[in-house]
Amino acid sequence: MPIIVEEKFDSRLSIAGDNPSVELRYIVFGTNSDLTAKAELADESPVEYDGLPRQSIEIEPLANDIWEGTVRYALTQQEPPPQTGESSFSFDTGGGTHHITHSRATVGTFAAPGITAPNFQGAIGVTDSGVEGVDITVPVYHFSETHYLADSVVTPAYKGTLFALTGKVNNAGFKGLAAGECLFLGAAGSKRGDEDWEITFRFAGSPNVTGLSVGPITGISKKGWEYLWVRYADVEDDNAKALVKRPVAAYVEQVYDAGNFGALGIGT
């Protein structure tokens, strides 16, 4: 039985305008092979229709040896490549992990009958030898910017600046973050022909905080990327008649150097 390809009555659906397209619909008779039906449809349908190139061929079985086919025509949309001086941006707020030894508040205390639970004043995971603490998720704002910089900008000295600023925090306001809140994670770049460089800059933001409390210790302030740790000491709990570990001092440590992010040349 010969294979027959016939165009349907409801064919030639057309869209005009900025994104023109045409859809031709067919019935294919005489084969139970989808590959054969598709090949015949490709042979019988025009490669171009109304000035539009053929983009796709779709077939769907209707009955034994009968297929419905759809051929779509449209312009292929291609985005122009980014130009020198252009930028793109992305971000996520997935958060980071931080090890803490002290809670914001103790919301429940339970003890065996006849025993008073010791008061550790918020210390977490207290043992005879120390305070174990727990890992929690803390807000960290990760973001990246891709810039297309002229070849004359990306000199060996500029690459050295990127290297020197990696692992530093901002010494002034940067991208909406106050001094001490933005950590530069580094940059990766590649040259596009002889014209310019595509460079992606990666950052992480952590908020500055004030008014923190650790047990009886209050008024603690720290910048986003400074590190807070707590010193514990053995203290007699008169109610529980036990020796317990309680916070006696809190320390805020600078662990990253500060740098001038204006030297990155991507604005502030």
Give 48's pLDDT tier (boundaries 50, 70, 90): very high
HSE-CB of 256 using CA atoms within 13 angstroms:
24
Give the number of other CB atoms < 10 A from CB of residue 196: 21
Residue 242 has pLDDT above 70, yes or no: yes
pLDDT number for residue 1: 67
pLDDT in tens, 164-206: 999 999 999 999 999 999 999 999 999 988 889 999 999 999 9
Question: Which H/E stretch holds residue 35?
Answer: helix 34-44
Least reliable range by pLDDT among 30-44, 78-92, 248-262: 78-92
Rg value, the chain, Cα: 33
pLDDT number for residue 55: 92
- CA–CA separation, 194 vs 198, rounded Å? 12
pLDDT in tens, 224-234: 999 999 999 98
- Would you say 247 and 217 are in contact if contact means Cβ atoms under 8 Å apart? yes
Residue 26 has pLDDT above 90, yes or no: yes
pLDDT in tens, 195-208: 899 999 999 999 99
| More confident call, 7 vs 76 | 7
- Average pLDDT of the segment spanning 26-53: 94
Q: What is the rounded average pLDDT for all residues in the chain?
A: 92
pLDDT number for residue 102: 86
Alpha carbon 57 to its chain centroid, in Å, reads 36
Q: In the chain, what percentage of residues exceed pLDDT 70?
A: 99
pLDDT in tens, 101-152: 888 888 998 988 988 988 998 899 998 888 999 988 887 899 999 999 999 9
Residue 241 has pLDDT above 90, yes or no: no
Give 40's pLDDT tier (boundaries 50, 70, 90): very high
Sort 235 into a burial class: Cβ within 10 Å, 0-12 / 13-18 / 19+: middle
Residues 6 or more apart whose CB falls under 8 angstroms from that of 80 comprise none
pLDDT number for residue 75: 86
